[in-house]
Structure 1
Amino acid sequence: MERLKGKRVLITGTAGGQGEAAQKLFAEQGAQVIGCDLRPGAAEATASSLRDNGYDVRGYDVDLADPEAARAWVEEGARALGGIDVLYNNAAGFGFAPFPEMTIDLFRHVMRVELEIVFNTTSPAWGVMSKSGGSIINTASYSALRGISPLGQVAHATAKGGIVAMTKSLAAEGAANGIRVNAISPGFVKSPATDAAVDEAGRQWQLNNHLIQRAGTGSDIAYMACYLASDESGWVTGQNFSVDGGATAGWR
């Protein structure tokens, strides 16, 4: 079962959560993977454990909010792999506050660490992928698709809504060069990031609004990403896939 055999893959945010799960699944499915994370040594730690099992995985420290650092990581990855077949923009920071408490500084911070970082990696990857095509996978959120009052998500929802719109425009521009671009909108997924950002009351509120009343896992999202990275999705582009336990489908 090597659905990604020979694929050259860049994944952001591989130190834990959804990115770590995707890195493991992609490697198991035959891909060469280069990951990155903001925390020093964290991406290489998860990569090293996979290399010990014979997989071709490397990890680097990168601040993706720095356009030059993001560009250097993409360009070095392309050189090391001999090209890029898949770019998975998984990483994101966060910032939440009720709108009356939302400052312009916090709003701009969220745009920088959730929306701009997707541009920062996609821009340098675009020229490489234009030569041979490939798949770009962006990470949005179900917060981009429905308003969620209790969690103070105006900035987060705006950034993720921008990713959905960016995905569609990039798909239109990339089609002529064989670049497919899709997004995944997770619901509430248990991860180190959500554990840090959401208190118990917010967590319970979200779970109560999922038809399948459990938190998602990194693997739930990784399997969708694997499909979008693979040739199985060769006629799929410009789409946003909700993997959210039914949160955007209806009420239980």
Structure 2
Amino acid sequence: MGRLDGKAVLVTGTGGGIGRATALVCAREGAHVVGCDLHAAASAETVALVRAASGRMDALAPLDVATEDGAAAWVEAAAGLAGGVDVLVNNASAIRFGAIDRLSYADWRYTVTNELDIVFLVTRAAWPHLARSAGAIVNVGSISGSRGAFFMPQNAHGAAKGGVLALTRQLAVEGGPAGIRVNAVSPAMTETPHTAPMLADPDGPGAAIRERTPLRRWGRPEDVANAILFLASDEASHVTGANIPVDGGAAAVG
């Protein structure tokens, strides 16, 4: 018996990294996963991996859920495919970096739209379904949402993820009467297709980040996916408004 047997789990950004790992873990535990991504080929690869492991998954791609129409269309289609919405994992994001005196307003808006607005839009669309199922939301934050980063200027990213964590707490309060649980996970540096070039760069910040991490390694997508699985499952039935750092102890260093 799986930890998510019979549950409809919606995951944004399932084309790779944390989203792909989450889809695989949730499907393994008995969920019917419905994903989405901007990249059709990567999305199809994840669906194939899940189905090859005898899991259930559908996905819509290419689809931009950082727009009102895209978010609403995906949620309604996903609810139809899976028979409702029991769990929503807000994972998808896109970032542009730059120091405060060099980051353009367009890059700031791009980051906030694709890291904070996207969570609001998808959650708002899914809220009526989650109220019917007394469901759960897991938002993927970042340790940058609660601390500064020494290795890269992350003002827009940190502000957006800080907003995600604040939104998580507020939604936990608003969702409580309907039985909706809302939690977050906050990864530190995680090995994904997006971070791989930076971590492979011998002159990049990867080694310094690893040395400042008590467990002396970068995170893996599966590390984050397993924390998401706990918060999505009935094992966390009395957990809401929480944020779990998945950071190898980085937050403990300060």
Question: Do both share a fold (TM > 0.5)?
Answer: yes
When structure 1 is superposed on structure 2, of 64-73 and 214-223 the one drifting more is: 64-73
Alignment of 1:62-77 (within 5 A): 62-77=63-78
Secondary structure of residue in 1 paired with 2:35? strand
Alignment of 1:101-120 (within 5 A): 101-120=102-121
2:231 — aligned with what?
228
When structure 1 is superposed on structure 2, of 146-155 and 175-184 the one drifting more is: 146-155
Structure 1 residues 148 and 28, CA gap change in structure 2 (3 angstroms): same
Structure 2 CA distance for aligned equivalents of residues 207 and 185 of structure 1 = 17
Structure 1 residues 70 and 58, CA gap change in structure 2 (3 angstroms): same
Structure 2 CA distance for aligned equivalents of residues 196 and 44 of structure 1 = 23
When structure 1 is superposed on structure 2, of 152-161 and 39-48 the one drifting more is: 39-48
Deviations 1:22-62 (A, max 9, x none): 11111111111001111123212211232233211112111
Structure 1 CA distance for aligned equivalents of residues 151 and 233 of structure 2 = 37
Deviations 1:202-238 (A, max 9, x none): 2223212211111110110011000001000000000
Is 1:215 the equivalent of 2:212?
Answer: no
Structure 1 CA distance for aligned equivalents of residues 178 and 198 of structure 2 = 39
Structure 2: which amino acid aligns with 1:108? R
Is 1:171 the equivalent of 2:161?
Answer: no
Structure 1: which amino acid aligns with 2:210? L
| Contiguous gaps of at least 5 residues in structure 1 | none
Moved over 2 A (4+): 195-200
When structure 1 is superposed on structure 2, of 194-203 and 102-111 the one drifting more is: 194-203
> TM-score, length-normalised on structure 2?
0.95
Structure 2: which amino acid aligns with 1:241? I
Deviations 1:163-207 (A, max 9, x none): 000000000000000100000000110001223567732222321
Give the deviation of 1:245 after TM superposition: 0.4
Structure 2: which amino acid aligns with 1:129? L
Structure 2 CA distance for aligned equivalents of residues 190 and 219 of structure 1 = 10
Query: What is the RMSD computed on CA atoms of the aligned residues?
Result: 1.4
User: Does the CA contact (< 8 Å) of 1:41 and 1:60 recur in 2?
Assistant: no
Structure 2 CA distance for aligned equivalents of residues 68 and 41 of structure 1 = 22
When structure 1 is superposed on structure 2, of 195-204 and 98-107 the one drifting more is: 195-204
Structure 2 CA distance for aligned equivalents of residues 8 and 23 of structure 1 = 11
Secondary structure of residue in 2 paired with 1:10? strand
| Contiguous gaps of at least 5 residues in structure 2 | none
Give the deviation of 1:79 after TM superposition: 1.5
Matching residue within 245, 249, 252 for 1:246: 249
Structure 1 residues 159 and 199, CA gap change in structure 2 (3 angstroms): farther
Give the deviation of 1:240 after TM superposition: 0.8
Structure 2 CA distance for aligned equivalents of residues 121 and 173 of structure 1 = 16
Give the deviation of 1:154 after TM superposition: 0.4
> TM-score, length-normalised on structure 1?
0.95
Structure 2 CA distance for aligned equivalents of residues 137 and 196 of structure 1 = 28
Q: How much identity, in percent, do the aligned residues show?
A: 40
Structure 2: which amino acid aligns with 1:165? A
User: Does the CA contact (< 8 Å) of 1:78 and 1:84 recur in 2?
Assistant: yes
2:35 — aligned with what?
35
2:153 — aligned with what?
152
Secondary structure of residue in 1 paired with 2:94? coil
Structure 2 CA distance for aligned equivalents of residues 6 and 12 of structure 1 = 19
When structure 1 is superposed on structure 2, of 124-133 and 48-57 the one drifting more is: 48-57
Give the deviation of 1:250 after TM superposition: 1.8
User: Does the CA contact (< 8 Å) of 2:199 and 2:207 recur in 1?
Assistant: no
